[in-house]
Chains A and B, each alone.
Chain A
Amino acid sequence: MRTRPATRAAQYVAVVCYLIFLGFPLLWLISSSLKSPQEFASIDPSFLPKHPDFSNFTDALEEQGLVRSMLNSLQISVASTVLVLIVSLPVAYALARFRSRLRPITNGWILVSQVFPVILIVIPLFMILRPLHLTNTIPGVVIVYTVWSMPFALWMLQGYVAAVPRELEEAASVDGASRVRTIVSIVMPLLRPGLIATAMFTFISAWNEFFFALVLLQDPQLKTLPLVLARFVGAEGQVQFGPLAAASVLATVPSLVFFAFLQRRLTSGLLSGAVKG
């Protein structure tokens, strides 16, 4: 049945409206980053800045060491993402494929570990990392983020592994492939969407994480992006809205690029999985 032109137009309008709805916070953020302090305090705020001004970006970049903190965050986020994927993949595979009495206990523990509040574990964690000289270091934060993201990553990946038909592995085995070969050549290509989704989750968790970084990193040269963004908020609710909005816009760029990069692979992965499944 052919879609009427009017229906098609309505569909496009709906999609555009939805995209605007989704993108509105970002548009508002960009608009805010170009406003002057007077415009923020106007009783009649406008969506578009009346006199666009880039000084908020200059302030954000010059005053708060934003670029350095972005590089630190990028370094930490990429490292923890890679480590989480490397460690969780074999564990998730084992949990999904091998039946044992330990499996429900392990899965239960994974779920329980998600309910601990950060504030509860941060001091013991600090006491463990300190004698190892891992406080105030990027590797220390990477290890913490890896461990912190691991349970959920395992939970996610386990589901993806379980969704891969066992028959494919059995067929590979019949053809003489070893288990490692089977995993590398058969399972992993089908797991690509799961790996990418897990990578996205881990990356964004690390990119946005505040509290561990606050406690573990003291050296100004090592501060991560969320720590620097927090500096735009003062005592008693004072906020430097303009520079904060500008810094937030800049902070969004790397994660947008990362997501755009992975999103394409996520889509192609889904398709390839569908064909092979």
Chain B
Amino acid sequence: MKKVLTALLAASALVTLAACGGNDDNGSGSGDSGSTEKVTLKFQSLAFQKTTVAASKKIVADWNAANPNIQVEYVQGSWDSVHDQLVTQFQGGTAPDIIHDESADITGFANQGYLADLSPYLSQETKDAVPQGVWDSVSSDGKTFAAPTLLQSYVVFGNTALLKQAGITTTGDSLSWDDLQADAKKLTAGGKYGLGWGLKSPTATVLNLGMNFDAAFFDGTGRDAKAKVGDPELEVPKRIHAMAYTDKSIDPTSLTQSASDVLPGFFGGKYGMIVAGNYVAQQIVEQGPKSFQWEVLPPLKGTSEKQAANPQTLSVPAEGKHVKQAAQFIDYFMKADNLAAVGQGDWLIPTTQAARDAIAKTTGGKNGWTQTLASGTELTKAPFQSVENYPKWKDQIATPALQSFLANKIDLTTLGKKLSDGWGQVNG
């Protein structure tokens, strides 16, 4: 036993000594914002795909080579945990100098005053390059709390062979919901379904695509917002439900799966089409059988092709020591070639037309890029993006209510009532 104790104590001493050698430099550089002083900025990137990680690192390397006094250190973050991490880092004043996150997530931080107003620092070129509707999704009270980089839209992916077999052509600028329903019916035969739709977490899809029918869900902003659930808001769930249970053209089991879960069925010919975020194209290319032919159908259209813009963003902590330099890097990141590189890697839509043009040129519009880029033109700020307790409503009310409706456990009237009354509960 003495030997064990001695070994434990020795190990303790060694490990403690080794541990004390840990790096405790917060890496934020020091001093003021003087242009001659060398500063180091931490850029926490959430890039996930290999290609996007490489593109992001290249942007950083190019910047560092050209700006010896403003060095950027690339730090790899994770989408899965970024919110909790930022909550603590903002509280403790240790947030990274440049923060990568999605607009919906940082809106709360911006409202609490944790993010710097970037409008005085971003170049006119950058400001002009992004449509106002997208800027609106990262602005409040006349301040711009982030730069929007990449956008996601919901698109319809089709199995080319099955579409041809069913005599479905996918030309045209848009695809109406009626056409989608009719096509899904045509494709439903012999144990195969026209549509697989991973709606395990249905709220984002329903609210984003709801804008096709001018669905607002909320009237007003902040805590004063009131729930607004009428016919336009219930149109998308009603149509999905009708396809699943009346037409039986959507596989009802797919409604309980994630977007990635339905891919095996899509590859195996079980579904002629799937609806998913356009980033899924990357998984289709990587995971699909080599012989698998697929396409992106034109953007879905109700009364319009509008969808909510929830862009990925780059922002800077309000208490950051080098807001100006961080904004300069963000400005550089927003250059067309840079945005095109990260957008292409993630199969997401850049917020600037110049970057979209660059992707269209590089890809020749193949692999659905023409339709994917087209689906981004009508993205704009949605009312729910200005509502403070939206995340609470989404998790506690909307998601379970929509799941029950899509599982055919409650009817449309009950769904509407739950969505509306539930807002009173979480915003009380």
Q: Interface residues, chain A, CB within 8 Å of chain B?
A: 37-38, 40-45, 59, 63-64, 75-76, 78-79, 82-83, 85-86, 119, 122-123, 126-127, 130, 133-139, 142, 184, 188-189, 192, 210-211, 214-215, 218-222, 227, 230-231, 233-240, 265
Contacts and interface: CB of A to CB of B under 8 A. Distances in A.
Contacts, number: 149
Contacts of A59: 50
Given A137-B24, A184-B2, A222-B23, A231 B15 contact: no
Contacts of A210: 81
Interface stretch (B85-93, B136-144, B238-246): B85-93
A214 B42 CA distance: 16
Nearest to B15: A79
A86 B16 CA distance: 13
Contacts of A85: 8
A86 B84 CA distance: 33
20 contacts: A37-B286, A41-B283, A82-B11, A83-B12, A85-B8, A126-B88, A130-B94, A135-B92, A137-B22, A139-B19, A184-B5, A220-B75, A231-B48, A234-B79, A235-B46, A236-B258, A236-B259, A236-B279, A238-B48, A238-B279
A188 B5 CA distance: 10
Nearest to A36: B287
Interface of B: 1-2, 4-5, 8-9, 11-12, 15-16, 18-20, 22-27, 42, 46, 48-50, 53, 75-81, 84-85, 87-89, 91-94, 96, 102, 200, 258-260, 263-265, 267-268, 270, 277, 279, 283, 286-290
A207 to B, nearest CB: 14
A210 B93 CA distance: 21
Closest 9 CB pairs of A and B: A43-B268, A234-B48, A41-B287, A138-B22, A82-B12, A79-B15, A235-B79, A138-B19, A237-B258
B59 to A, nearest CB: 17
Main SS of the interface on chain B?
Answer: mixed
Contacts of A41: 263-264, 267, 283, 287-288
A126 B85 contact: no
Contacts of A215: 84-85, 88-89
A136 B259 CA distance: 36
Contact of A218 (B96, B268, B270): B96
Given A86-B8, A123-B88, A123-B92, 7 more contacts: A37-B287, A63-B53, A79-B12, A126-B88, A127-B92, A231-B76, A238-B48
A222 B1 CA distance: 34
A38 B96 contact: no
A227 B1 CA distance: 36
B395 to A, nearest CB: 15
Nearest to A231: B78
A119 B80 CA distance: 15
B81 A133 contact: no
B15 A75 contact: yes
Contacts of B77: 231
A160 B310 CA distance: 56
A184 B5 CA distance: 10
Nearest to B7: A82
Residue in B15, B20, B259, B290 with the greatest tally of chain A CB atoms within 10 Å: B15
A76 B16 CA distance: 9
A219 B23 contact: yes
A142 B19 contact: yes
A190 to B, nearest CB: 9
Contacts of A234: 48-49, 79-80
A206 to B, nearest CB: 12
B19 A135 contact: no
A239 B280 CA distance: 11
Given A79-B16, A236-B279, A237-B258, A43 B267 contact: yes
A233 B393 CA distance: 25
Nearest to A189: B1
